[in-house]
Amino acid sequence: MVIVNLGKEGGERMGVGKYELGRTLGEGNFGKVKFARNTRSGQPFAVKILEKNKISNLNTTDQIKREITTLKLLKHPNVVRLHEVLASKTKIYMVLEYVTGGELFYKIASKGKLTETEGRKLFQQLIDGVSYCHNKGVFHRDLKLENVLVDDKGNIKITDFGLSALPQHLREDGLLHTTCGSPNYVAPEILANKGYDGATSDAWSCGVILYVILTGYLPFDDRNIAVLYQKIFKGDVQIPKWLSLGAQNMIKRVLDPNPKTRITMAEIKEDPWFKEDYNPANPEEDEEEDINNIDNAALSIMEVPHEAEEKSPRSPTLINAFQLIGMSSCLDLSNFFEKEDVSERKIRFTSNLSAKDLIERIEDIVTEMGFRVQNKNGKLKVMLENKAHKSVGHLSVATEMYEISPSLYVVELRKCYGDASVYRQLCKRLSNDLGVPSSQGLISSGLK
């Protein structure tokens, strides 16, 4: 695979194979997404550029391999198309369909709720795309507004299959067991941790998306993740009376907390409200591909060279919201956020600042307060050896950050030894200056 600089008056353009790379469309944990154009046909694409060393350091090789494997199988008008995958010694280039309209999240955040007619059309396309995936043996497992794109014609494109599951991921009981997804969209049976049907749980997430499309806000929301999970378990959703009876019934049936009685994809397609003005999509028919061959091809692409760069010392520990369960003695996480433990040695709070900004701000604040700080691979150690003021004792505090999503971090402060009153002052200052305001939850205020 050849990377070249294409000469241009006034500067240079970077080329990857037959693609000319342009502006950056977005950035993620592993690299950037850039606009690209095929130099032969002029067709636009989005190229996802993944840094192999970051993938290796964050132990997400399987996640990227899974996304490549899955997208190679899917050819549907409402699923983002993967055209080809290129690789160099240090990078992977996923050449994807270019979708001009951005995330459905931003459309709802800027416009508020959509009309029932417009919302039903998007829901029909969502169900078309998701049910097609299920027929191919693919379960998305992270359906949310941010993973649904909208093109210039108002049609949706499902994207981000990094958490998807294929038939080989089913256990002997025929169920999936990996706890994953996004808190506000996750089905209750996933939280129960007893195994779940991928199609049924995807249906629940589609129901959450439908609710937001028609109302402008989430059906289940709370900044305390334990309370949020309790709401999801109960499935006690407040359905606005101003929605039509057909829409109300659809929401009620798809957000049924019991997966055994929840409406299925096939039943959704037979619902009178859903079928109104319904024009089913026509997926592209092609020869069946061998999943194992694709899987092996993806694995070879993912091989990381020996000369991979050293991991950045500022890289935070990557953690999803469901791994937080493993950091608590039970599902009740009410003591996880913004609470001290009984010994007052450990305090955690959430922040929307980036990892880089968090580290810099913490260093500035504690230095201003008279502390000494050491930074080792993104883990801070804050120390106070007070020689000038006898009234204040010695203190040592360890600080660590956990990334839940690109816009949400958990900061953990742990007292190693020292003065409890000074420790509380430090924690209060950091949480007040850096923490999420009490009026903001786990999703952008644009959907409140």
* Catalytic positions, written as ranges: 142
> Residues 200, 205, 209, 214: is their CA dihedral positive or negative?
positive
Amino acid letter, 145: L
Residue 226 main-chain phi, psi, to 5 deg: -65, -40
Task: State whether residue 408 is helix, strand or coil.
Answer: strand
For 256-278, letters b (16+ CB in 10 Å) and e give bbebeebbbbeebeebebbeeee
Could you give the CA distance from residue 356 to residue 5 in angstroms, rounded to a whole number? Answer: 31
Could you give the CA distance from residue 194 to residue 259 in angstroms, rounded to a whole number? Answer: 12
Task: Give the tokens for residue 229.
Answer: 């999970």
Which residue(s) pair with 298 in the sheet? none
Task: State whether residue 419 is helix, strand or coil.
Answer: coil
Question: Considering only CA atoms, which of 284, 286, 285, 281 is closest in space to residue 127?
Answer: 281
Contacts of 184 (CB under 8 A, 6+ apart): 144, 208, 218, 220, 221, 228, 442, 443
The answer to whether 194 is a known ligand-binding residue is no
Could you give the CA distance from residue 440 to residue 446 in angstroms, rounded to a whole number? Answer: 10
Which residue(s) pair with 348 in the sheet? 412
The CA R_g of the chain, rounded to the nearest whole Å, is 24
Could you give the CA distance from residue 166 to residue 407 in angstroms, rounded to a whole number? Answer: 28
Which residue(s) pair with 37 in the sheet? 20, 44
Binding site as annotated, residues for ATP = 48
